[in-house]
Homo-oligomer: A and B are copies of this chain.
Amino acid sequence: MRKALVVFSGGQDSTTCLYWAKKKFDSVESISFNYGQRHCKEVKIAEDIARGARVPWQLFHMDLLNKICDNSLTDPDMEVDKEKPANQPPNTLVEGRNMLFLTYAAIYAKSKNIQNIVTGVGQADYSGYPDCRNEFILSLNKTLNLSMEYEYKIHTPLMWKNKKEIWAMADQLGIFDLVRYKTLTCYNGIIGEGCGHCPACFLRKRGLEQYLKEIGQK
């Protein structure tokens, strides 16, 4: 039996990955992380979506990260960058986040005899996050295998897709409305279509408009 663990945030990307994994694997579990992020309702939304998908879900508390790394997602006193600064990543970058998420996911997965780990990271709409790139994921996969002498396989079904293509994928998986109205991507914590003007909303909305245009609905 092929089992998979999905690193799940309740956003557009990981929700699409969750349903992708349900099609591809015999058994799927999901985990979310609470790391002091700005919008703790993100966690509740993730739980609701996992429950609706009938996928076991667990919440991992990872308090340490926001104590050692300044960023606007976990520091309520810091304003989210409106645009990506020219020569550095946006201040929404949480250093090492994906590396920690995937390492904890791998430790947990091995304890449950799960070799497949699914994550929604991608580099098509590259936003300046080095830990979303394919080169990083491949290197991490190798390091995890060495670390625990286990044959992990990290799956990144969205790695080369832009937002328009991720909308198309959600539609093919039959979850277009679920993703559109029930997921949370917005940096300002507004579910579904979001605030419309933060960088996350900008990418999501542009992709949606492109997709709707492509299928002739707008």
Contacts and interface: CB of A to CB of B under 8 A. Distances in A.
Interface in A149-197: 149
Nearest to A65: B107
Interface of A: 60-65, 67-70, 95-96, 98-100, 103-104, 106-108, 110-111, 130-131, 133, 135-136, 139-140, 142-144, 146-149
Nearest to A135: B146
Nearest to A107: B96
A96 B148 contact: yes
The 5 A-B pairs at the shortest CB distance, nearest first, are namely: A96-B107, A136-B146, A139-B143, A130-B149, A143-B143
Contact of A99 (B63, B68, B69, B147): B147
A172 B130 CA distance: 42
Given A60-B64, A100-B103, A143-B143, 9 more contacts: A63-B63, A70-B111, A95-B110, A95-B148, A100-B104, A131-B146, A136-B146, A136-B147, A140-B146
